[in-house]
Every structure is written in structure tokens, then in C-alpha cells.
Chain A
Amino acid sequence: MHARAAASFVKVAQQFDSKIYIERDGQTVDGNSILDILTLACPYGGKLTITAEGTDAAVAIKELEKLIENKFGEE
């Protein structure tokens, strides 16, 4: 994932109490850690699985989905 996209992702993820994870090819990282996400090295168009655990998990997933659909909210 590109640095700009990773930054946008973390900024959204941090708004929630839920723990957020990103999984790619069997490797799972913390969705709140920009360094983890960067080193996941997901290429453009690559597939990711996002999971959230916690009271606001459903909202979190929805918001992150929106972010990805909007191509990481390019300003």
C-alpha cells in the first residue's frame, strides 16, 4: 500500500476503539500501525482482508470500506 493510502487508512482506523487487523497472504498486521501496513507491501490492486474486533467493529468496517471505495479519499 502506498504511503499516502496507508496514512489515510490509519487515520480512519484510529477513530475507533475496536482492534483492526489487515491480512494479506496469511500475514496479519495491526491496522493502527503505519509501519506494519507499509511493510505488508500490498501492491496496487492486491487483495486484503480487514477485520475489526470490538464494540464499534461494524461501523469501523463500514468506514474503512468507504475509504477504500473512494480510493483512500484523495484530497
Chain B
Amino acid sequence: MSADQSTKTFVLKGVGVSPGIAIGRCYRFDPLGSQISFYKLKDESLVPKEVQRFRKALKESEEQLLDIQKNLRKAKITEPVYVIDVHILILKDKMFSNRTVKYIRDQGINAEWALRMTLDHYKQIFEGVQDDYISSRISDVQYVVQRILRNLTGEKHEIVWEVGNNGVIVVSHDISPADTAQMKLDKILGFATDSGGRTSHTAIVARSLELPAVVGLDDITHYVRTDDEVIVDGTAGMVVINPYPDMLKRYEEKKRHYDVANDEYLKFGKLPAVTLDNYEVQIGCNIEFIEEIPSAIAHGAESIGLYRTEFLYIYREDLPTEEDHFNNYRQVVTNPNLSSSTIRTFDLGGDKFANYQKQSKELNPQMGMRAIRFCLKEVEIFKTQLRAIWRVSALGKTKILFPMISSVEEIREAKKILEEARQELIEEGVNNIPEKIDIGIMMEVPSAVVIADKLAQEVDFFSIGTNDLIQYSLAIDRANERLTYMYEPLHPAVLRLIQNVVEAAHQAGIEVAMCGEMAGDPLCILILLGMKLDELSMNHLAIPRIKKIIRETTMEEAETVLNKALSFSTAPEVRSYVQDYMVNRFPEEFIAEED
């Protein structure tokens, strides 16, 4: 492509769902090619042949989907395979095919046109349905129509792997499991899509392959064509189309830094987090999807310190079954590279459950009927998850973590239900249910911190959730942008709360972990080390750097920094002291943030 005047640079902002920088040529993945022609058949004698052509495309589509389904099952991808079942049943739906055939016959039009009319017909019907879930199922019909059209036009397969030997950046409206099943994933450098969020299929695939991805770009497909130069910055959530030379150079430089830093740091990931004076901290990783486990381990996670289970409930219409839970958890706890896995019971409000939506409109959901409060009310939903956790605990070292505990009564009630779930399993004859499981609570509500000594008598470990603890204790709504300046992990009150939790835990002889963002913040690491937290659990990318700093310091130094930090009365004083200290002491670790 020549650098002509018409090549315009576009910068689009979306949601970065998988970090890193990818630079390459665009491959516009469009399941529905734009070269579809609609025409009237020349005369009636052509109708039977056209109907036959349509039926053949139906058959081919079905065979392809069956193939994909088989491969998905083999690959043990956790995406619901039933979606493809639904697509196959639509293909085989007589109402659907008869209508299309009728359009071909009655109007003497080609199959593409008739199919288009059938789609429009269903669009109208689905739009008329009150239920949002049902009306959005038109996307399934659309998907099927696209596949048939592709077969009609003779484009048998998507051709991602035939474009460019250096790999491509896949740009699409959205990407479904069936799409990725057909792509040569090793030829892909990154993803950019119009729709989607952190839990969309694109995001999950990108993270599991450690490829940069930005989703939710709204209309990138309108701006970019196959073979355009594209930069995907998954860390910043940005995509640049046709970058001008200087910009491209800057990004290439940035990418090189990123890659080198990554390789360099990965070495530290493999080493234990031991200080020079032999104090060891357990380093865990926070995950949301089982696909994240390989990168967690590659970056040096020794355990899963926080497995968030909310994903199992979101983006689906029905409740996850005990088997859904079990199948996911099993893949976490049986991983031989992890010393233990902490499963946190779901932290969701009623708004995520179809049956409760109406009654659960809350003014302040952050302080509403959610997490353990919701679970103690909806015991049956809660028990489904608890039963699965009991069952996997027989297969590998499992810990259970209850979120948002604010009183002793709540944890006692949760433990009672946990034991009931165990008894039920035993009564049903389920084998190998252990006697006991390590029980922990999230320390994220200030009242829990104040009575930490009492709570410590009830459980086996604490895990400090700094994100919520900071927002609740400083009384700031994290969603309120005007207050973000007040969100300060180094606020003297926050430091004292954390210290209080650690002391109460150790006095009672139980372990204490931290799984909030603060645990992976290199700026805070000496302070946390000085407090003697037993485990720090963080985003996988943070692990190598945290380990590196721990390995270059001593407990003595950490305690000195902690004591000095605790001596200040204001947050700005603490921050400026810690920042100066860390930048001077570990210049290499803090330079990168300057640019």
C-alpha cells in the first residue's frame, strides 16, 4: 500500500481486556462478506435449482457446526457448547427453512435474498418480545444466516491463516467461539472488536493466549480495512489505525520495552519471594477464568489467592449448576503447579439474578443486598456453589473465602450452611467429602476490621480486600469520578486498619493474606512486607516485579519503612515519603512509569 494522502490516522478508545502491544496488519474478519448479491431469478424454471442450492448450503452449514462442536469438546473450552446446539437446531428448524424456500418460490428471488427476508421476518418477531434475553437471541439467528450465506457464496472457511506470514491483527464486530475454533490462533497478533467487555469470548481467548486485545470500540470495523497497519495497545485500551511514522516508531519502541521487561521480569517470577534475611512471603494470583491459570503460573504464582466466581453467573440466562461450578473449580484445584486455591463464593447482588431483578433495584448497591448477605437469604443458590466446593476440595488443596462479612453472626451462619451442604452430600452417598476445609473471610468491611480479634476465633484465615476496604472506610464511592483523588491506599487510616487485621490474625495464630490491588502495587510492597502479611495475591503481571523487590530487600528495611510511614498524620506525607524512598532505592523498577 502506498502512503497516499487518503491514509488517515485514527485513534480509538475501548476497553483493554488483555495487556501488551501488538503491531501488525489488519485482518478484517467479517463473518458476513459484503459481496453478497441479491437478484431475481431469470425465469421460474430456475426455482428448483435455487431451492436445491439453499438446501445444500443448509446441509454444509450443519456439517461445519457439528465439526466445530466436536473440536470445542475436544479442546475442553469452557464456552457453552450448547450455543452451537442452538445454532444447529435453527438450521434444522422447518419454520425457518420452509419460509426461505417459500420466498424463493413465490417471489422468484435468489437464496441470498430470500434468506435475508427470513432474517428480517424473525428480526421483527424477536424485537416484539418484551424479554431482553429473548429479543437478543436474534443474534443467534443472524449468526446462522451468516454461515449459510457464506456457504452460498462458496466461501467455505474463514481464511485468517492465509493472510500475511507475519501474523495479523483480527478486527471484527465480535468474535464467537465457533469463529475462533476455525482460526489459526498462532497467526494472530492481537484482537480489536466493536462490541464486548471484560468477560466476552474475545477477552477470554486473548488473555489465555496472552495476546493484546481491546474490545468495546463501538465502530472500529468502519474505520479499518484489511491490510491497514494497526496498533493494539491492550494495556491502555487503545487502537491506532494507520499510525503516522513517528507514532509507529514510538510504539515499536514501547513494545520493545514491554517485551524486554516481560522477559527480564519473568526470570524473577520463577524464584521464591524471599528477602535477603530469609523472610518468605507466599505469592498468589487473582484469577477470574481458568484460562488465566497458565499465565499466572508462567509469571510465578505459587497459588491462586483469589478465584473470583462471579463470572459463572454473569452472561448466562439460567443459574449455573453444581456441575458447572465443579467443572470449573476442578481445573483450578487440580493444577499440580499450585500449592492451594482460594475460591471466593460469589459476590453479586440480586440484580444479576433474573428472578430477583425487579425487587432489587437499589439506590446504593455497593452497600446493598449482595455477596454473603444475598447468599444467606438465597440459601439454595448458595448451597449449589458450596456443594461443588466441597466436592473439589477432595481433589486438591482448596480454601473457601466468604466475601463482605461484617459480623460474627454472618460467618457463623455461613459456616452452618456450609456444614449443611456437607451433610447433604454425605447423605446422598457422595464419597470422599473431606471432614474440613480451610475457611476464610474477606476483610473489606470496616466493622469486620474492628472486631478482627473476634472473627479470628471463627475462621482459618483472613484475606484483606483493599479495594472495598478503602472505599468503605474513607466513605468514597469508587464510581464517582469527582472523588477518585480521595482513593488512597496510603491513607494513615487504611494502613492502621490493615495493621490491625494482621495483628489480630497473628495473635490468634491464623494466616492473613491480601488480595486487593494494593497487594500488587510495587510502591506499597515494603510496607506490606513490614506488616508481615503471609500471602500477597495479585494480578499475574505484577508478580515478577513484586518478587524482584522482595528479593532485594530485608525485613529490617521493610519494618523501618513501615514505621516511618506510620509516623505521618496525612496521606500526602505518607505518599511522598514512600514514593521518594522507593524510586531512590529501586530506580529500575520505577523508571518505566515516567513515560
Contact = CB atoms under 8 A, between A and B. Distances in A.
A35 B93 CA distance: 7
B85 A7 contact: yes
B131 A43 contact: yes
Contact of A34 (B90, B125, B126, B324): B90
Interface in B411-460: none
B337 interface: no
Contacts, number: 67
B130 A3 contact: no
Interface string A43-75: 111000000000000000000000000000011
Interface size class of B (residues with CB under 8 A): 20 to 34
Given A4-B80, A7-B82, A38 B134 contact: yes
Nearest to A36: B95
Specify the main secondary structure of chain B where it touches its partner.
Answer: helix
Interface stretch (B200-208, B254-262, B315-323, B568-576): B315-323
Interface in B306-355: 317-318, 321, 323-324, 354-355
A44 B130 contact: no
B323 A74 contact: yes
Contact of B323 (A5, A10, A75): A75
B141 A3 contact: no
Given A34-B89, A35-B95, A39-B125, A4 B134 contact: no
A36 B141 CA distance: 12
Contacts of A5: 318
B323 A34 contact: no
A41 to B, nearest CB: 5
A18 B420 CA distance: 45
B219 interface: no
B145 to A, nearest CB: 12
Contacts of A74: 318, 321, 323-324
B38 interface: no
Query: Max chain A CB contacts within 10 Å: which of B126, B134, B317?
Result: B134
A2 B95 CA distance: 19
Interface string B117-153: 0000010011001110110010011000000000000
B96 interface: yes
Contacts of B140: 3
A24 interface: no
Contacts of A10: 89
A6 interface: yes
Contacts of A75: 82, 323
Interface size class of A (residues with CB under 8 A): 20 to 34
B83 interface: yes
A10 B130 CA distance: 23
B94 interface: yes
A34 to B, nearest CB: 4
A6 B137 CA distance: 12
Contacts of B317: 2-4
Given A30-B95, A41-B130, A4 B82 contact: yes
B141 A35 contact: yes
B86 A34 contact: yes
A39 B134 contact: yes
Contacts of A36: 93, 95
Contacts of B85: 4, 7, 11
Contacts of B93: 32-36
Contact of A7 (B86, B96, B122, B126): B86
A32 B86 contact: no
A45 B354 CA distance: 11
A2 B94 contact: no
B131 A41 contact: yes
B96 to A, nearest CB: 6
B354 A11 contact: no
Contacts of A33: 93-96
B25 to A, nearest CB: 36
A36 to B, nearest CB: 6
A8 B134 CA distance: 16
Nearest to B80: A4
20 contacts: A2-B317, A2-B318, A4-B85, A30-B95, A33-B93, A33-B94, A33-B95, A34-B90, A35-B95, A38-B126, A38-B134, A39-B126, A39-B129, A39-B134, A41-B129, A43-B131, A44-B318, A74-B321, A74-B324, A75-B82
Interface of A: 2-7, 10-11, 30, 32-36, 38-39, 41, 43-45, 74-75
Given A4-B318, A39-B126, A74-B321, 15 more contacts: A2-B133, A4-B82, A5-B318, A6-B86, A7-B85, A7-B89, A33-B95, A34-B93, A35-B95, A35-B122, A39-B122, A39-B125, A44-B355, A74-B318, A74-B323
Q: Which 10 A-B pairs have the closest CB atoms?
A: A34-B89, A2-B317, A33-B95, A74-B321, A41-B129, A7-B85, A41-B134, A3-B86, A4-B82, A7-B86
